[in-house]
């Protein structure tokens, strides 16, 4: 297997760093020792490492999640609901390579050596009302394919260790609105990761699509469109289209209700309800580009397997009780809730969104 050593030495504490072409080239002998300064060290032949700190993705105390030079934060317009867990996302790529644009609705095509970094945490954790970091998931590209590496944080939040076996973590937290929640947070197994992150039985990223990244991010050196930032960083080839079919932010109440629903189900449901994915045997297709057709959202579509006799349609316009989609969104029970994985709590804000939308529909089902 080809051995790749990639060292990036931090020359500034600012997030805004030199562009990719200004970074030092990797040592051709692969023998450069780790520096004592902030750095990223990725050796594809040795990954996954047994601890998160060995990558050097964060500078200073790890719990601060301050990115090292070349580790670029990003945030999708819409995010998967994970029992109200908060998430920080970063990308890192080796010198001399970039991702390429394929289409608005397709994940960017990443080069070997690229690493997507996502950390899950809660604020307001009781009894101290503090922060608890639970896991950091890596999705890295090697030999033309994606691979998973999950790191479970210790309670002191000083280190995270490689663990793909899964774990349930009980958490009591108070959300931003002051409501208390008890949750059994699920750190997934590798099989559970693949259930959602798969296409044709191979791992793939979900959120890194132009349609879901075409938005402004507040970087340390000032706000900038994320796609433009990736280009300026050297992480994305130029030549993007002048317009991108961008998803609606489902939390933006100024946008049309139907578009907000489409934006929500795109990120929370489409990764399974798409051709070649886990639930492709169902008739709905929840991706942003397909839900311009109301039937793809289940409007007036009879369910193949109604969970209750009253469920006449996936979505029955104006009738929550007869709408199977609402029943699943409004449940936290195994075998009933949707999505199947990644949540046990009801996403109350989304439940209300779906309820308002169904109530607004006036189509008559034949």
The winner for highest mean pLDDT among 15-19, 75-79, 310-314, 335-339 is 75-79
- H or E element that contains 265: helix 257-268
Per the CB < 8 A criterion, the answer to whether 211 and 76 are in contact is: no
Rounded average pLDDT over 307-330: 88
Indicate the DSSP class of residue 236. B
Q: What are phi and psi of 198, to 5 degrees?
A: -140, 150
Q: What is the pTM of this model?
A: 0.83
State pLDDT tens for residues 249-292.
999 999 999 999 999 999 988 766 566 555 554 666 678 888 88
State pLDDT tens for residues 218-249.
999 999 999 999 999 999 998 899 999 999 99
Rounded average pLDDT over 49-68: 96
Check residues 123 and 30 and name the one with the higher pLDDT: 123
Per the CB < 8 A criterion, the answer to whether 269 and 341 are in contact is: no
Buried b (16+ CB within 10 A) or exposed e, 289-320: bbbeeeebbbbbbebeeeeeeebbbbbbbebe
> If 0-12 CB within 10 Å is exposed, 13-18 middle and 19+ buried, where does residue 67 land?
buried
Band of residue 52 on the pLDDT scale cut at 50, 70, 90: very high
Domains of the chain by residue range: 5-233, 248-366
Angle between the N-to-C axes of helices 257-268 and 348-360, in degrees from 0 to 180, rounded to the nearest 10: 130
**Cα–Cα distance measured from residue 135 to residue 150, given in angstroms and rounded to the nearest whole number:** 7
């Amino acid at each position: 297997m080809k051995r790749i050593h990639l060292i990036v030495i931090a020359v500034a504490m600012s997030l805004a760093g030199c562009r990719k072409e200004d970074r030092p080239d990797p040592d051709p002998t692969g023998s450069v020792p780790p520096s004592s300064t902030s750095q990223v060290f990725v050796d594809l032949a040795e990954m996954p490492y047994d601890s998160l700190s060995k990558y050097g993705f964060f500078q200073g105390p790890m719990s601060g999640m301050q990115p090292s030079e070349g580790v670029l934060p990003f945030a999708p317009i819409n995010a998967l609901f994970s029992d109200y867990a908060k998430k920080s996302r970063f990308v890192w790529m080796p010198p001399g390579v970039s991702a390429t644009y394929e289409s608005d609705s397709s994940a960017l095509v990443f080069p070997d050596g690229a690493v997507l970094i996502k950390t899950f945490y809660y604020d307001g954790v009781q009894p101290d009302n503090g922060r608890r970091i639970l896991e950091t998931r890596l999705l890295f590209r090697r030999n033309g394919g994606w691979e998973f590496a999950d790191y479970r944080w210790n309670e002191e939040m000083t280190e995270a260790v490689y663990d793909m076996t899964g774990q349930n973590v009980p958490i009591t937290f108070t959300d931003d609105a002051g409501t208390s929640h008890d949750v059994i947070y699920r750190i997934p197994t590798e099989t559970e990761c693949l259930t959602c992150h798969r296409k044709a039985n191979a791992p793939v990223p979900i959120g890194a699509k132009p349609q879901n990244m075409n938005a402004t991010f507040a970087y340390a050196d000032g706000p900038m469109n994320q796609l433009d930032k990736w280009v300026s960083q050297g992480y994305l080839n130029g030549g993007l289209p002048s317009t991108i079919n961008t998803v609606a932010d489902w939390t933006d109440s100024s946008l049309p209700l139907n578009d907000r629903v489409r934006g929500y189900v795109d990120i929370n449901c489409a990764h399974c309800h798409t051709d070649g994915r886990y639930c492709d045997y169902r008739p709905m297709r929840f991706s942003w580009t397909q839900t311009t057709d109301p039937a793809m959202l289940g409007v007036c579509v009879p369910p193949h397997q109604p969970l209750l006799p009253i469920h006449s349609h996936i979505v029955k316009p104006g009738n929550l009780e007869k709408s199977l989609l609402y029943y699943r969104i409004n449940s936290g029970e195994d075998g009933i809730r949707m999505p199947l994985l990644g949540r046990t709590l009801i996403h109350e804000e989304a439940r209300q969104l779906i309820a308002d939308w169904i109530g607004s529909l006036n189509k008559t089902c034949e």
